[in-house]
Amino acid sequence: MKKANIAVLVSGGGTNLQALIDAQKAGIIKSGEIKLVLSSSEGAYALTRAENAGIAHVTVARKQCANRDDFEEKIIEQLENAQTDIIVLAGFMCILSEKFTGKYANRIINVHPSLIPSFCGEGFYGLHVHEAALSYGVKVTGATVHFVNEIPDGGKIILQKAVEILDGDTPETLQKRVMEQAEWIILPRACEKVCADIISK
């Protein structure tokens, strides 16, 4: 059976990458295969996760590139070498240019730790998202997987899952619960959905 080639872009620990690796092993992701893990920072633990799973991995360090164009060109070169069909941003801490997102239109997905359109856009990443949700006083948050375009968190929504906010939640406890109850569930499902669409064309 033909499978879509998946590249996962990371910057840190790679917990969402691990969720994808586990989902691939469990047969949740069956229309695609992770062929490449690319990190924007050297020594990211996500690279160790890739190595442990026997997945090709590479670093394109943002700080070692002359500018964003240079950085993105080096990433594209790696993606093309791996014959990438779909790109999954899993804690990738770099905003991609319109030129890059346009080249891979409807082929880049990202998971965001809120129910878009709440608490999203530029500046909303990591704990900032959960801090904003708690300070606003919302009772329900969650995660969203969406296509990536030139607007941060602005692409078409693929899947969402809600998570209840509990009394006494801190940004840290909320972040953990949103990952466990939403991100790690819907990211693999959305990845499978997009891979299945790609190979059916």
Residue 29, domain extent: 4-200
Query: From the CB of residue 73, how many other CB atoms can be counted at a distance below 10 Å?
Result: 14
Residue 127 has pLDDT above 90, yes or no: yes
pLDDT at 156: 97
Tens digits of residue pLDDT in 89-105 = 999 988 899 999 999 99
CATH number, domain at 63? 3.40.50.170
Query: Which residues are catalytic, by number?
Result: 112
> Lowest mean pLDDT: which of 22-31, 48-57, 89-98?
89-98
* Strand order across the 32-39 sheet: 57-59, 32-39, 4-10, 86-89, 108-112, 140-147, 157-164
The pLDDT of residue 39: 97
Cis ω on the peptide bond leading into residue 152 (within 30° of 0)?
A: no
**How many separate domains does the chain show?**
1
Q: How much is the average pLDDT of 6-28?
A: 97
Hunting for tokens 């064309």 — which residue is that? 201
